[in-house]
A and B are shown apart, each in its own frame.
Chain A
Amino acid sequence: MATQHQTLGQLVVRRLLLGVVLLLLISLIIFAGTELLPGDVAQSILGQSATPEAVRNLRLEMGLDRPAAERYLSWLSNILQGDLGTSLSSGRDIGDMIGDRLGNTLFLASSAAIIAVPLAVFLGLIAVLHRNGIVDKIISISTISMISLPEFFIGYLLILLVAVQLNWLPSSSIVYNSMSFAERLQAIALPCITLTLVCLAHMMRMTRAAILNVMSSAYIETAQLKGLSPFRVIFHHAFPNAISPIITVIVLNLAYLVVGVVVVEIIYVYPGMGQLLVDHVTNRDVPVVQAVGLIFAAIYILLNMFADIMAIVANPRLRHPK
């Protein structure tokens, strides 16, 4: 086993380097995805009825006459210098457009994660403690149902009940800079609940599976045969070994959070990155889509990398080499 001989530090550095390479490759894919697909970007932006003159002008404006590799490199070097380019539809600087929106999206997504992750792990543990019992069955059936619900069903149901019928919270989440923290929290309450519900079920099911997998190990039987209390068996013997798989599970599910946030922002008219992305996909404003898509992908990759490093650090075999 080659990996066994590597030290913890080496593995972490390797993973960091891999993350950088991955980011570069993703930027290439996103660029290629919008530039090299069949059909002319300029043509598809202007539609089939556009005059050849207009298409030609747009091609020049977008620099489409230059080779793709050259355009990619200049796009990438601009991004690395902090210049995300300008919007085709509004002519505004993309960096300015993103500005506050990135903060808004991160605020919403991290609030949901802060609620969902501990709750999912807790419910997963409860399900394992009562496995095959009635509590487990109820959790199981309700999570299957939750997984199957589209985000907009949960979102609009909550609006109808909580905002329209009960009038407890606003139906749309308008935020502005002068808002206090408490006001902000109130504004994102409904989208946050929706997002939590969307990813909670997935996370909980996988956490349960990860812990059950550990619980079937021989060393758990050993612990039981030592006459230890069920509490000690789970928390002292199962949990330390379940940390890495649980981290993996949580990261797998952060993808649901990223996807969920796009849809939830549309439902609640929340001024974030998701809304920006969808609006500009509809406008076929390619530079904005590239920039926002890259930011979403980068956040997801960084989270993944962070979690992988955590999982490496949590592995006793790597922490205590031979």
Chain B
Amino acid sequence: MKVINALSKLCINLTWAARIGLFSLCIFALAAIFAPIVSPYDPHAIVGDVWEPLSASFWLGTDQLGRDLLSRLIHGARNTFFIAGAATLLSFFMGTFLGFLAAVSGGKADQLLSRLNDLMMAIPTLIFALVVLSVLPANMIVLILVMGVLDSTRVFRLSRAVAVDIVVMDFVESARLRGEKTLWIIFREILPNALSPLFAEFGLRFAFAVLFLSTLSFLGLGIQPPDADWGSMVKENKDGIVFGIPAALIPAAAIAILTISINLVVDSILSRTSSLKGGR
């Protein structure tokens, strides 16, 4: 009940831009969940000519082999959502736990974790990922692990910063003086007060993971054929662009709409609090 109340309250408070964002997110999510039911064709079947334009039978046209773009888009959404979602969850579990631990422990433990994190962040994520992917096999598990671990550095930084602000509050000192254990302080005193910035950050990190996965796939280092996600669909169809065939722009636009939607919702939740945190 509480959750439903909170959600309905949230919807009332949203701006019109955020409502549009929320609506399109729901459409994307439903399409991914019910992919086999809603997609008009088999995503791997060649059903038409190469790069057919938009038509009544192929709503979004066909790709470089004559497969239905809409069906591939709907099935590709599953890969995009699953890998980006799993990587974000991984980065959150790792990042927030270590971030809170660093903030609560303070002293040397905090120094060690923070400096290590700074070191990881001193290399741009994509460069780091490319270096690592040059020796690791390209499969889903590796992708999720690499993206999750690299992204957890950003989550670590935010959650540590949030927690450090909370740790200096007298109510945490009061719990310490009472004799409470570290885990109790993390989960009962800090976590409830850190939820809203973390929730917003989750949205931003998920949007970033979608972009990152798409970029890797676009570079040929993410999802490998015959599987497809939106990024690899851009790669498959990019050769058409110079002939004026916009097929590659359709999955690219899908990525854009998804990430814009997430950002609109998150921005509305954060409303006017801007932060300097984040970054690649």
Contact = CB atoms under 8 A, between A and B. Distances in A.
A165 B135 contact: no
B276 A37 contact: no
B249 A157 contact: yes
A156 B122 contact: no
B109 interface: no
Given A150-B255, A153-B255, A255-B279, A33 B128 contact: yes
Given A29-B123, A164-B244, A255 B131 contact: no
Interface string A150-177: 1111001101100111000001100000
A244 B131 CA distance: 33
A256 B280 contact: yes
Interface of B: 17, 119-120, 122-128, 130-137, 207, 211, 214-215, 218-221, 231, 234, 238, 241-244, 246, 248-249, 252-253, 255-256, 259-260, 262-264, 267, 274-276, 279-280
A153 B264 contact: no
Nearest to A285: B134
Contacts of A148: 207, 211, 256, 259-260, 262-263
A300 B276 contact: no
Contacts of B133: 281
A208 B276 CA distance: 10
Most buried by A among B126, B242, B259: B126
Given A29-B119, A159-B242, A289 B130 contact: yes
Given A37-B135, A144-B264, A153-B256, A160 B122 contact: no
Interface string A262-300: 110011000000000110111011100110010011001
Contact of A160 (B17, B207, B244, B256): B244
Given A145-B256, A278-B219, 13 more contacts: A33-B131, A144-B263, A150-B252, A150-B255, A151-B215, A152-B218, A152-B234, A160-B241, A210-B276, A245-B276, A293-B123, A293-B127, A300-B122
Interface of A: 22, 25-26, 29-30, 33-34, 37, 39, 41, 44, 140-141, 144-145, 147-153, 156-157, 159-160, 163-165, 171-172, 202, 205-206, 208-210, 212, 245, 248-249, 252-253, 255-256, 258-259, 262-263, 266-267, 277-278, 280-282, 284-286, 289-290, 293, 296-297, 300-301, 304
24 contacts: A29-B120, A34-B134, A44-B137, A147-B263, A150-B231, A150-B256, A152-B215, A153-B253, A156-B252, A160-B246, A164-B241, A171-B241, A252-B279, A255-B125, A256-B279, A259-B280, A266-B218, A277-B130, A282-B221, A286-B135, A289-B130, A289-B134, A300-B123, A300-B124
Contacts of B262: 148
Contacts of A150: 211, 214-215, 218, 231, 252, 255-256, 259
Contact of B260 (A140, A144, A160, A212): A144
Contact of B279 (A164, A253, A285): A253
A260 B128 CA distance: 14
Contact of B125 (A26, A259, A263): A259
A40 to B, nearest CB: 9
Given A252-B276, A253-B279, A300-B122, A160 B249 contact: yes
A259 B211 contact: no
A300 B118 CA distance: 13
A255 B130 CA distance: 15
B248 A156 contact: yes
A304 B122 contact: yes
Contact of B215 (A39, A252, A263, A284): A263
Given A39-B135, A209-B274, A263 B219 contact: yes
Contacts of A163: 242
Given A44-B136, A255-B280, A262-B126, A34 B264 contact: no
A160 B234 CA distance: 14
B134 A30 contact: no
A255 B122 CA distance: 9
Given A282-B220, A289-B130, A206 B276 contact: yes
A168 to B, nearest CB: 14
B119 A26 contact: yes
Contact of B127 (A172, A245, A258, A267): A258
Contacts of A267: 238
A295 B78 CA distance: 36
Contacts of A252: 276, 279
A276 to B, nearest CB: 11
Of B137, B264, B279, the most chain A CB neighbours within 10 A belong to B279
